[in-house]
Structures are given as C-alpha cells and as structure tokens.
Amino acid sequence: MRGFGNLIDGYRRFRANQSSLKREQWRQLAEGQSPRAVIIACCDSRADPATIFDADPGDIFVVRNIANLVPPFEPNGGRDGVSAAIEFGVTQLNAREIVVMGHEKCGGISAVLTGRFRNARAGEGGFIDRWMGQIDEIAQAIAQEHGTGPETHRRLEEAAIRRSMANLRTFPFVVEREQKQSLVVLGCHFSIREGELWVLDEAKGKFRPV
C-alpha cells in the first residue's frame, strides 16, 4: 500500500496487540461513547492529549486546531468546527470537564508573535494568519510589554489558554452547566522538553505543575 509511510506498520502492531479483552471493549464502544472530558488541544504532533493523559478510546473527546483556540460564541459565525465539536461534547455527550491544553513551543503562537504570516495569501500562511488573528491584540500587548523572547512566548501561550477559557464561558450551555456544577472548565500547559503538565489555578491566577 502506498502513501501511508510507516502508518500501516503501526496499524499492524495495533491489530496484533488486540487481545480478546480489548476486542470486547471495542464491541462495547461500538454501542456508544460517553467521554468524561472534552479536550481542546493544538494540532502539534508533540502534544497529543491521548498520550499525555494516557487515555483509552472512549475516554476523551478531542478537538484539535492551531494553538488550541476557542472562538467566542457566534451563532451566525459561519463554518465553525470548534463550536460544533464543543456543542456536541457538552450538550449531547454530557462531558463533565472541558480542558484547554496549550503547549510549549507552539508554532501558532510563534507565528502571531513574530507576525510571520501577516497579510499572507491563502496557501502561504493566510489561513493561519486569519485563525491566529483572534489573539493578535493580546500578542501585541504582551510583545510591547515584554519583547518577543522565550519568556514572552510562554506568556502568550498561557494568555491564549486563558482567552480560550473566557471564550468558552461565552457559550450559554457552558455557563449554564458550570453554574449547576455539572461541568468544569480547566486550563493547562504541556512542556514538551520536560514532559510536564502545568494546570491553571484560577483562584490564584497561576499555572502550577501537577
């Protein structure tokens, strides 16, 4: 089979590892899913929520996009796959947690901070520019105050997580469930170098290692 690189080798290992117990689990999963958490993560190949949370199929409902951004609630906002996934995970699957997970060395964050794709055409970074434009103002403000070094990078990664959490709270069905305490909104940041997860303590306004 052409075009899959070593993915088919991985698939063969996956098939070979399916014990009868796992097969039974797959059969049960085929009946339906009730994941505990919705996770909004970056597309980055190094920050995979299933790996980091050691999650099994059926455990987490994952939405991935460049820089793990959540746009604000815009009922007439066009083709918004992120909002559709959040709506499904929260209102149809009744997930009890929504986790925004950012990560170290995020390319999307770097792009907005450096203005690398500013005003680029579609196909040359224009889609990234338009998507990351959501946090352009925050990026400008942080860069003005702190420059564009690695510290600023981390600062903006954290600010973007906070913004996504704030935007989640513009969705009425999120606010409603949070008030009834049937849903928790959480933020965290994954360090690739350390393989370490930091969680946002909202009361203290700080990220801390778990």
Residues of this chain that interact with Zn ion (CB under 5 A) are 42, 44, 106
CB of 103 to Zn ion, least distance (A): 6
Q: Report helix angle 150-168 to 107-114, nearest 10.
A: 110
Q: Are 49 and 28 in contact (CB under 8 A)?
A: no
Residue with Cβ nearer Zn ion (39 or 106): 106
CB atoms within 10 A of CB 45: 6
Residue with Cβ nearer Zn ion (42 or 183): 42
Query: What are the two backbone dihedrals, phi and then psi, of residue 51, each rounded to the nearest 5 degrees?
Result: -70, -50
Residue with Cβ nearer Zn ion (61 or 131): 131
CB of 96 to Zn ion, least distance (A): 26
Read off the tokens for 12. Answer: 């063969």
Q: How many CA atoms lie within 13 A of 160 on its CB side?
A: 35
Q: Are 137 and 156 in contact (CB under 8 A)?
A: no
Residue with Cβ nearer Zn ion (38 or 132): 132
CB of 194 to Zn ion, least distance (A): 16
What is the Cα–Cα distance from 69 to 42, expressed in whole angstroms? 8
CB of 41 to Zn ion, least distance (A): 8
Read off the tokens for 36. Answer: 């505990």
CB of 101 to Zn ion, least distance (A): 10
The separation between CA 98 and the C-alpha centre of its own chain, rounded to angstroms, equals 10
Residue with Cβ nearer Zn ion (44 or 129): 44
